Amino acid sequence: MSKNRFTGSELLHAYVDGELNPEEKLRVEQWLETHPDDAQMVVEWQKQNQGLNDLFASKIDEPIPQHISTNNELHHTPPKSRSASSFGSQIAASFLILSIGIAGGWFGQDYFNGSITDPTVITATTQNFAQPAMEAHWVYTPEIRHPVEVGKSEQIHLAKWLSYRLEAPLSIPDLTTLGFDLMGGRLLPSGTGPAAQFMYESKEGSRITIYLTKSLNNDKEETAFQFNQTGSTRAFYWYSDALGYAVIGDIERNELLKIVNNVYQQL
């Protein structure tokens, strides 16, 4: 077999996905030792994969619900070659985001009825959106070239556009005093319609996201901060008026809480 089955970013994705033979694996590890940017990118992809695995581990052995298995035939299609899909696992993760937005979805059902939570935390009375917010965080924070849809240079346009789509006035918090600079944001699907994500980055390369979505039935409610954690990813979320807010990051809980308090004061 050719020594160059994968090249460039394909090789790094294959390394993360465990698809390399010992010789290829050694070659990648030697490369990562002298290329810290690529090494950090690989670490972020591994975190993303682990987060997805942790999230869906309990679902793997569950039977397919009757309303899905009888109405939708499942066909196995041989996977395309990696050259036809160079982004591999990130594309698969993106499909998870889309599936969350489909009402009545199999995996998505637990997001919207609030059953996936930290057992020590009381969920909001409308819905638990912490997990979809964390999913969006896992999918987009590892991105190098396209982490956001609209960059910080168009901050005014970004705020107006997302306010229009969510039908609510949105402000973009300034976190520079806490060491995080705005990168930009994007529009996302959610169980209650459009959602928004703002992304920030520290000088050390750590990224956090703020996720906003409309509450179920547009209820105007106030809740205390609630906490959720999957792996190393932590999230605080709450409702204020007709919007739900979540702040997510792979940082210490106390540090994240400082950011949450700062965000809350600016909203």
* 89, 158, 112, 126: CA torsion to nearest 10: 160
Which pLDDT tens digit goes with each residue over 36-85?
Answer: 877 877 887 777 666 666 655 555 555 555 544 444 444 444 444 444 44
Percent of the chain with pLDDT over 70: 64
Q: What are phi and psi of 245, to 5 degrees?
A: -125, 140
CA distances from 218 to 240, 246, 258 (A): 11, 17, 28
Which pLDDT tens digit goes with each residue over 11-23?
Answer: 777 888 888 888 8
Placement of tokens 């917010």 in the chain: 133
Write down the pLDDT at residue 234.
92
**17 Cβ contact list (under 8 Å, min separation 6):** 49, 88, 89
Sign of CA dihedral 66, 111, 51, 19: positive
Query: Is 129 buried (19+), middle (13-18) or exposed (0-12) by CB count in 10 A?
Result: buried
Strands (E), the chain: 150-151, 180-190, 193-202, 207-214, 226-230, 233-240, 243-249
Segment 139-168 shows an average pLDDT of: 92
Which pLDDT tens digit goes with each residue over 221-247?
Answer: 677 888 888 888 999 998 887 789 999
> For the chain, what are the domain ranges?
90-266
Percent of the chain with pLDDT over 90: 34
The Cα 5–Cα 19 span in angstroms is: 10
Give the end-to-end CA distance of the chain in Å, rounded to a whole number. Answer: 57
- CATH superfamily, domain at 90-266: MucB/RseB, C-terminal domain (3.30.200.100)
